[in-house]
């Protein structure tokens, strides 16, 4: 049926076809397409459970076949061959159906509808939206039956290929404490530490649902090195980008893996990371696209990714008041006590990935016997290849190297040596050539210590991407040192404060202050009382202090902010002056990567002041590299030295520059705040911009000043949409957070026909002047919606929550959760029917007209809705819409989200997103 539909659709792409024929054929085609969908849905309903049972039996047989001895497998081979064939044929046949439906979708899109009349264009658009709906059968209403299900069953990790659509990669994480096999306590993700490896392809959408099962503790996850362009809420910093995930709660992270390379994730809390909450995150791309891909033959990232961590004898969260020095007892690779093995063949080259996942100040040095390693990337950024006998990794750093198996045979040791707090600790990896019996290696033990030699530090590498750094930038000096000061009980900050919560959640923070604390410009970082990115207006103003204005804030703790603008180059001079300690520090920048312009160490090995450094700089004694400097997001600041970095904010957000390894107690960080601003914005529903791949990827325009779609007058303005920002917590379908902002390439010009709409100043609602405006269908005839040519406006009636909740009984029975939220949604009627939003109204406004007098006295304005009447829709529904000319101004109070079909039927309300509940999201993205 789909094939026949495709042929008839393609037949419309003929210049000789007259409009009357097009209109006639479209009516028939939509009817037949609707019939096709009905047949498929009937098949789903009838055969879903039988397919599920058969599917499950065959899948179990396939899994068991891998566990049987060869003799039994031979005896049962006819059964297993049958299971494989049935499993494959199910998937193949259903994939054929999917392919046919996609052909129909392509046919609709490429049928030349641009030359049709506007009325037929709208009809084609409705057909296209229907054609995009995924067509697949479900096994027991759970597992999709298609060739990808078969492929996923056969292989755990897919190769990244050319011209393949990005996928949505979903993971479920449950964080809980357990005891390992040795009786050692550990925090785990899905009962393992490190957590599951997240392995995706470039531009995949990564979705991770995190549930916290750590009693009495909160947690968040940070995606180390991921830029989070367009998704700053997913950065995982408590009280900056999100609320912490409290015990028993679930939070969903969602972001696009936009850059390839080696990353990892970890708990934001240093002690939680040390106790086991971390894991690898690898973003692959086809090897020919890798800048240094010609240097290696194999990239087995599943087997050749090495996460180095430190193990403690007990949970660090149990030592909050212990003032003794905390040192780990061992180094572990991928969380295992067993020695990892790298199997190689002579003459081939292998890409290896190393991640220092130690939260303390524990640099590590990696070297290998009788082999050299070629460094090809640091912190996921390609560098010009550098051959080293060894390399150093500071906490949070990642290095990709190529190892060439140039020995004829044998077994060799790769050694990982700890420094700093991990001094004297070592662990090893075995490098084994094909066919070599490594028993003798185990008997003799590791012997790679004498082969470390010299190597090039990471700040000396050169970026593979040619770049010229402009010599001028906004220069900021950051003084870093360990200081001692008198501590009052009120100064002890348990990672963040939350005045809005009745019970303050506990967030781990050691209280050891006996040897002073590391500070930036004499200040420690104070987490705000409300989520800074979501609710900036609720953050107490007295806790702010600003870089280079710290003297105005006398308290030792504050929310230290570095204000930056998009495309404004910034040079940071991170100066470890060395008056309070002889330590070096490692800093990590969230959101952006930095160019390392210079690393300087005081030749006298004595502490220095800002004035002394500036004098050296004026005399050109500080050497800067402006040509192809290395690009990193984790940098090292040497003892009694200074590191100069450059970065240019290219997108908005609130990003920490933090020294995670500086302290287990008070955070050492500052907040780089870049405006999340859109020049001019259009407000709509989130499902309108990410309801399907078509809506996500096709170009979109915003049109203003048009009241008849067939007549674009001189007052009409058409503007390209450059940004689509749905609320970060919107999960699709009906439910909360169905709101989005569209950023325009250029602002609209305000005229008599084009004006901005006011945002709601209160959640109070009056039925007076409550208007629904849109281009939605007026009725549906023979499956074809009657879409109006002119913009429609109708008066609607507000329905209270309980009355609306009772009216959607049918929908509540088919959804897992209540789709109606008392705070996030509004409902309108009347429930007597006849007036409602319909197809084409989604994302449109629910407008409240308010007089200037009421606006000027808005604090005294009350809800006009009479709560003492049972049938409230009869009270206001007969009121006449007030005359707009009486100095009434429009306020948008709702956005059309969803409704019940058929539109306008009795007892079917229209549900809107309550705009007043999302003012923080809106204000965070628009310029006021």
Element (H, E) at 647: strand 641-647
Contact 306, 364 (CB under 8 A): no
Q: Single out the residue in 617, 647, 674 at which a domain terminates.
A: 674
User: How confident is the model at residue 261, as a pLDDT?
Assistant: 95
* CA neighbor of 768 nearest in space, from 855, 882, 910: 882
Question: Does residue 812 fall inside a structural domain?
Answer: yes
Helix (H, G, I), strand (E, B) or coil at 373: strand
404, 530: one domain: no
Give the SS3 label for residue 191: coil
Do 281 and 325 belong together in one domain? no
Q: Which helix (H) or strand (E) holds 281?
A: strand 278-284
Assess whether 552 and 643 both reside in one domain: yes
Q: What is the pLDDT of residue 428?
A: 94
* 399 and 284 in a common domain: no
Name the helix (H) or strand (E) containing 165. Answer: none
How many angstroms separate the CA atoms of 582 and 602, rounded?
12
pLDDT band at 495; cut points 50, 70, 90: very low
Of 261, 273, 300, 126, nearest to 194 (Cα)? Answer: 273
Per-residue pLDDT tens over the stretch 415-463:
999 998 888 899 999 999 988 888 888 888 887 555 666 677 877 889 9
Q: How far is Cα 494 from Cα 500, in angstroms, rounded to an integer?
A: 15
pLDDT band at 123 (very low <50, low <70, confident <90, very high): low
C-alpha to C-alpha distance for 892 and 849, rounded to whole angstroms? 9
Per residue in 239-264, pLDDT (tens digit) is 998 889 999 999 989 888 989 999 99
Single residue among 265, 289, 313 that ends a domain in this structure: 289
Burial 858-867 (b: 16+ CB within 10 A, else e): eeebeebbee
What's the pTM? 0.66
Domain end call among 91, 124, 154: 154
In sequence order, what are the residues at sequence separation of 6 or more whose Cβ sits closer than 8 angstroms to the Cβ of residue 917?
763, 823, 824
Find the DSSP H helices in 482-609. none
Q: Say yes or no to pLDDT of 750 above 50.
A: yes
The predicted model gives 562-579 an average pLDDT of 90
Question: What pLDDT sits at residue 3?
Answer: 55
Distance CA 734, CA 738 (A): 8
309 and 358 in contact (C-beta within 8 Å)?
A: yes
Same domain, 695 and 606: no
Q: Does residue 928 sit within a domain?
A: no
CB atoms within 10 A of CB 548: 10
Q: What is the Cα 677 distance to its own chain's centre?
A: 19
The winner for highest mean pLDDT among 174-178, 180-184, 900-904 is: 174-178
Return the CATH number at 381.
2.60.40.420
Rg (CA), the chain: 31
User: Per-residue pLDDT averaged across 896-907, rounded?
Assistant: 84
Asked if residue 734 and residue 600 are part of one domain, the reply reads: no
Q: Write down the pLDDT at residue 357.
A: 95
Cα–Cα distance measured from residue 747 to residue 749, given in angstroms and rounded to the nearest whole number: 6
What value, to the nearest 5°, has the Cα angle with vertex 817 and ends 812 and 820? Answer: 65
User: Do residues 845 and 759 make contact, with C-beta atoms less than 8 angstroms apart?
Assistant: no
Q: Which positions ≥6 away from 716 have C-beta within 8 Å?
A: 703, 704, 705, 706
Instruction: Please check whether residue 459 lies inside any domain of the structure.
Output: no
Strand order across the beta sheet in which 168-179 lies: 185-189, 168-179, 205-212, 250-256
Q: Mean pLDDT lowest for which of 140-149, 343-352, 724-733, 903-912?
A: 140-149
669 and 690 housed in the same domain: no
Whether 477 shows a pLDDT value over 80: the answer reads yes
Decide if 311 contacts 400 (C-beta within 8 A).
Answer: no
Closest CA to 365 of 423, 319, 431: 423
Residue 468 domain-assigned (yes or no):
no
Look at residues 558, 593, 594, 590 and name the one whose alpha carbon lies nearest to residue 573.
594
**How many structural domains compose the chain?**
5
Domain match, 535 and 560 both:
yes
State the distance between the two ends of the chain, measured CA to CA, in whole angstroms. Answer: 54
Task: Give alpha helix (H) positions in 110-206.
Answer: 118-132, 147-154
Only one residue has tokens 């909740």, namely: 805
Q: Are residues 663 and 788 in the same domain?
A: no
Q: What sign for the dihedral angle of Cα 200, 203, 205, 206?
A: positive
The angle at the Cα of 796, spanning 795 to 798, to the nearest 5 degrees, equals 145
Question: For the domain that residue 797 is a member of, what is the CATH number?
Answer: 2.40.10.10
Q: Is residue 462 part of a domain?
A: no
Vertex 207 angle, CA 203 and 209, to 5°: 165
| 565 pLDDT more than 80 | yes
For 113, what's the count of Cα atoms within 13 Å in the CB-facing half-sphere?
Answer: 21
What local confidence, expressed as pLDDT, does residue 613 receive?
A: 87
Contacts of 744 (CB under 8 A, 6+ apart): 678, 679, 680, 681, 682, 702, 719, 720, 721, 722
Inside any domain, residue 725: yes
Q: Which residue has the tokens 């097009």?
A: 22
Rounded distance, CA 163 to CA 146, Å?
A: 20
Given a cut of 60, is residue 639 above it in pLDDT?
Answer: yes
Q: Looking at the predicted structure, is the pLDDT value of residue 857 above 50?
A: no
Per the domain annotation, does 359 fall within a domain?
yes
Looking at the domain assignment, is residue 466 inside a domain?
no
- 275 and 298 fall within a common domain: no
C-beta of residue 787 within 8 angstroms of C-beta of residue 838:
no
CA distance 251 to 897: 23
Paired strand residues for 872 = none
Indicate if 605 and 536 belong to the same structural domain.
yes
Of 210 and 38, the structure prediction assigns the larger pLDDT to 210
123: left (phi over 0), alpha (psi -120 to 50) or beta: alpha
At 675-696, the pLDDT tens digits run 765 557 889 999 888 766 556 6
Residue 51 is classified by DSSP as: H
Question: 């999709």: which residue's tokens?
Answer: 144
Is the pLDDT assigned to residue 127 strictly greater than 80? no
- State the Cα–Cα distance between residues 480 and 658, nearest whole angstrom: 11
| Domain extent for 43 | 2-154
| Range scoring the smallest mean pLDDT among 608-612, 718-722, 823-827 | 718-722
Of 871, 418, 360, whose CA–CA distance to 661 is shortest? 360
Are the CB atoms for 148 and 88 separated by under 8 Å? no
In the structure, what pLDDT confidence band is assigned to residue 309 with cuts at 50, 70 and 90?
very high
**Whether the Cβ atoms of residue 890 and residue 772 lie closer than 8 Å to each other:** no
pLDDT band at 337 (very low <50, low <70, confident <90, very high): confident
pLDDT at 328: 87
Confidence of residue 109 (pLDDT cuts 50, 70, 90): low
Dihedral sign, Cα of residue 631, residue 636, residue 638, residue 643: positive
312 and 284 together in one domain: no
CA pair distance 595, 374, nearest whole angstrom: 21
Tokens 């509808």 locate to 113
What confidence score (pLDDT) does residue 633 get?
94
Closest by Cα among 732, 744, 771 to 683: 744
């Amino acid at each position: 049926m789909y094939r026949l539909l495709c042929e008839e659709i393609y037949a419309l792409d003929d210049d000789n076809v007259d409009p009357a024929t097009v209109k006639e054929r479209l009516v028939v085609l939509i009817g037949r397409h609707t019939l096709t969908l009905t047949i498929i849905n009937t098949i789903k309903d009838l055969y879903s459970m039988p397919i599920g049972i058969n599917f499950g039996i065959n899948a179990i047989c396939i899994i068991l076949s891998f566990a049987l001895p060869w003799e039994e497998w031979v005896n049962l081979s006819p059964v297993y061959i049958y299971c494989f064939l049935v499993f494959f044929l199910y998937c193949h046949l259903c994939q054929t159906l999917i392919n046919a439906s996609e052909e129909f979708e392509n046919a609709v899109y490429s049928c030349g509808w641009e030359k049709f009349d506007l009325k037929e264009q709208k009809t084609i658009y409705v057909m296209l939206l229907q054609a995009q709906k995924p067509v697949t059968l479900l096994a027991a209403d759970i597992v999709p039956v298609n060739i990808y299900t078969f492929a996923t069953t056969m292989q755990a990790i897919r190769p990244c290929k050319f011209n393949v659509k990005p996928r949505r990669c979903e993971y479920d994480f449950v964080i809980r404490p357990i005891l390992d096999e040795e009786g050692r306590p550990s925090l785990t993700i899905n009962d393992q530490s490190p957590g599951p490896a997240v392995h995706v392809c470039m531009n995949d959408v990564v979705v991770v649902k995190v549930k916290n099962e750590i009693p009495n503790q909160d947690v968040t996850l940070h995606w180390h090195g991921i830029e989070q362009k367009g998704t700053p809420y997913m950065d995982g910093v408590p009280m900056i980008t999100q609320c912490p995930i409290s015990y028993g709660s679930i939070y969903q992270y969602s972001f696009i893996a936009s850059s390839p390379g080696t990353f990892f994730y970890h708990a934001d809390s240093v002690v939680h990371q040390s106790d086991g909450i971390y894991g690898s995150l690898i973003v692959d791309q086809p090897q020919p696209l890798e800048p240094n891909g010609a240097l290696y033959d194999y990239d087995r990232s599943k087997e050749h990714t090495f996460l180095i961590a430190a193990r403690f004898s007990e949970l660090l969260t149990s030592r909050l008041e212990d003032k003794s020095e905390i040192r780990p007892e061992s180094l572990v690779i991928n969380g295992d006590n067993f020695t990892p093995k790298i199997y190689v063949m002579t003459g081939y080259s292998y890409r290896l990935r190393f991640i220092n996942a130690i939260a303390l100040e524990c640099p590590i040095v990696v070297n290998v016997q009788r082999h050299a390693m070629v460094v090809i990337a640091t912190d996921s950024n390609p560098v010009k290849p550098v051959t080293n006998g060894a390399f150093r990794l500071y906490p949070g750093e990642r290095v990709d190297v190529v190892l060439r198996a140039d020995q004829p045979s044998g077994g060799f040791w790769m050694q990982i040596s700890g420094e700093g707090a991990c001094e004297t600790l070592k662990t090893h990896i075995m490098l084994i050539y094909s066919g070599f019996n490594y028993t003798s290696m185990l008997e003799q033990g590791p012997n790679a210590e004498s082969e470390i030699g010299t190597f090039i530090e990471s700040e000396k590498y050169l970026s593979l991407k040619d770049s010229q750094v402009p010599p001028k930038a906004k220069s900021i000096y950051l003084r870093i040192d360990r200081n001692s000061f008198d501590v009052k009980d009120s100064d002890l900050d348990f990672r963040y404060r939350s005045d809005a919560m009745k019970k303050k959640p506990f967030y781990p923070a050691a209280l050891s202050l006996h040897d002073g604390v590391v500070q930036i410009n004499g200040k420690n970082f104070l987490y705000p009382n409300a989520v800074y990115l979501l609710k900036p207006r609720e953050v107490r103003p007295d806790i702010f202090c600003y870089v280079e204005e710290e003297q105005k804030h006398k308290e030792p703790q504050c929310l230290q902010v570095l204000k930056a603008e998009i495309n404004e180059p910034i040079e940071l001079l991170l100066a470890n002056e060395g008056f309070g300690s002889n330590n070096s520090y490692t800093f990590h920048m969230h959101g952006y990567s930095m160019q390392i312009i210079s690393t300087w160490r005081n030749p006298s090995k004595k502490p220095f002041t800002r004035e002394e450094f500036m004098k050296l700089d004026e005399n050109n004694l500080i050497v800067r590299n402006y040509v192809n400097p290395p690009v990193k997001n984790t940098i090292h600041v040497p003892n009694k030295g200074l590191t100069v970095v450059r970065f240019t904010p290219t997108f908005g957000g609130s990003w920490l520059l933090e020294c995670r390894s500086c302290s287990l107690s008070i955070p050492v960080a500052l907040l780089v705040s870049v405006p999340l601003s859109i020049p001019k914005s259009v407000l709509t529903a989130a499902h309108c911009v990410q309801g399907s791949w078509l809506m996500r990827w096709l170009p979109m325009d915003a049109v203003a000043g048009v009241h008849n779609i067939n007549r674009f007058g001189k007052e009409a303005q058409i503007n390209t949409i450059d940004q689509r920002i749905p609320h970060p917590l919107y999960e699709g379908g009906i439910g909360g957070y169905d709101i989005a902002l569209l950023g325009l390439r250029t602002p609209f010009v305000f005229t008599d026909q084009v004006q901005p709409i006011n945002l709601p100043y209160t959640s109070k609602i009056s039925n007076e002047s409550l208007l629904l405006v849109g281009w939605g269908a007026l009725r549906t005839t023979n499956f074809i919606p009657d879409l109006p040519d002119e913009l429609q406006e109708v008066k609607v009636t507000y329905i209270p929550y309980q009355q609306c909740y009772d009216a959607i009984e049918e929908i509540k029975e088919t959804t897992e959760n209540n789709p109606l939220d008392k705070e996030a949604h509004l409902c309108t009627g009347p429930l007597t029917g006849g007036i409602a939003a319909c197809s084409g109204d989604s994302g449109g406004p629910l407008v409240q007209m308010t007089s200037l007098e009421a606006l000027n006295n808005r604090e005294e304005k009350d809800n006009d809705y009479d709560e003492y009447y049972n049938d409230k829709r009869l009270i206001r529904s007969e009121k006449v819409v007030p005359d707009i000319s009486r100095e009434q101004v429009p306020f948008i109070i709702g956005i059309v989200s969803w409704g019940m079909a058929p539109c306008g039927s009795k007892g079917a309300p229209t549900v809107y997103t309550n705009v007043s509940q999302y003012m923080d999201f809106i204000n965070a993205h628009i310029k006021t």
